[in-house]
Amino acid sequence: MDPTAMRALSVQDLLRPPLLADPSPFYAALLQFEPVHWDPVRDAWVISRYDDVMAALAHPHLSAARLARDAPSGVSAEAVLSRQLLYLDPPAHTRMRTLVNRGLAPSLCAALRPRIRAVVTELLDAMQAAGRADFVRSFASPLPIIVVTELIGVPPEDRDRIRDWSACLGLLLAGIPLDAPQEDAAHQGIRVAVEYFRDLLRERTRRPRHDLVSALAVGGAGAMDRDDIAANLLLLVAAGHGTTTHLLGNGVSVLLDHPEQWQRLVHHPDLVPLAADELLRYECPVRATGRVALSDLEVGGHAIASGQRVITLLAAANRDATRFTAPDTLDVARGPRHLAFGAGIHRCPGATLARLEIQIAFAEIVRRFPTLRRAGESPQWIPNVTFRGHASLPVTF
């Protein structure tokens, strides 16, 4: 690549139509020419190589606390974000993560298997009766919102509002330009969501149930500020819904683009657990996460100054040829070792639940719809730097 073009390369280029449809040339350019690259648009270092991303995510002087924290009573969007696990360092991160892990323990997630299977069956029954469907709207979106709201303890009648608030948070994290009305609406949605979860925490403190809100309300009493807990409940909903929706939609879309791999799963459904991780690697729903340097340090042989920002490009790390054989080739028997859930202390706390949902879903989809195919034109990707997913995915059987 021309050195001048390389110097001008920015993660914002991922919004350009050719790279929106297929970002792999962008990842390849970074990995080949500048795995630690200065992004002149984002004013940040972009790290793309697998080993360097792992090192950056574990580095004690690369802080997740990249937002200013407002007063405890603040309800601005920035104040809410700054309280979430994504933006916390120890010891605040450790306290909140310990509480969240109790509600998302592998044993508790495993206990949800019958309920997840029942929801999957119900949604696929409706798709099958219709003969064709928008996979995102009919399956990929409703499945995770039902599962995560039931786990957390949100009443069914509030699911639509929760989904809207989740979208507000996702919009602010998307890394795309927003006009004033969009930004105002997103901020307002986050403020309303935090008030909702505050009220729910108060109610479950008085009358606890067997759900995550009750566990956080009781277990977090005296240890964590109620605003901190409310902010992280919003994060859990957004992560549990938005990213899982994308990983389900991405997975089906990728398999339909690789019919030989689809048929491999149809004939060998025992490969579904491995395929779930390969689909996460190949088209991960969360492409990047950020850090800020607390002191002068070095990553991948490059000096990073104190105060400079860092973007770890998870999606590029998952295509690193030094880590994966033929990384641009989909192989449903490849298995894990990806960074789709991040790494280190900030690894996605809902990874076990997300993996369980995708495994159950794909096992049923390949069994019931062996001739699944696209209906109409190829779907368009949502313009987004941070996340990757479809707005719709029309399919027929």
- In this prediction, residue 123 has a pLDDT band, given cuts at 50, 70 and 90, of very high
Tell me which of 169-178, 234-243, 302-311 is least confident.
169-178
Stretch 306-332: mean pLDDT, rounded? 97
Stretch 70-80: mean pLDDT, rounded? 57
Higher pLDDT, 111 or 77: 111
Stretch 307-322: mean pLDDT, rounded? 97
Output the domain CATH number for residue 161. 1.10.630.10
Considering the chain, what is the average pLDDT of its residues? 90
pLDDT of residue 331: 97
- Tally the domains of the chain: 1
Contact of 56 with 310, CB cutoff 8 Å: yes
292 pLDDT exceeds 50? yes
pLDDT of residue 135: 96
User: Where does residue 147 rank: exposed (0-12), middle (13-18), buried (19+ CB within 10 A)?
Assistant: buried
Question: Which two tokens mark 41?
Answer: 């648009």
Stretch 10-29: mean pLDDT, rounded? 95
128 pLDDT exceeds 50? yes
What are the tens digits of pLDDT across the range 88-120? 999 989 988 988 887 788 888 888 999 999 999
In which domain, by residue range, is 321 found?
Answer: 3-396
- In this prediction, residue 222 has a pLDDT band, given cuts at 50, 70 and 90, of low
What are the tens digits of pLDDT across the range 43-72? 999 999 999 999 999 999 999 988 744 333
Cα separation, 295 vs 259, whole angstroms = 49
269 pLDDT exceeds 80? yes
Higher pLDDT, 249 or 73: 249
pLDDT of residue 220: 62
The most confident of 106-115, 179-188, 361-370, by mean pLDDT: 361-370
Q: How do 373-374 and 62-63 pair as beta strands? A: unpaired
163 pLDDT exceeds 70? yes
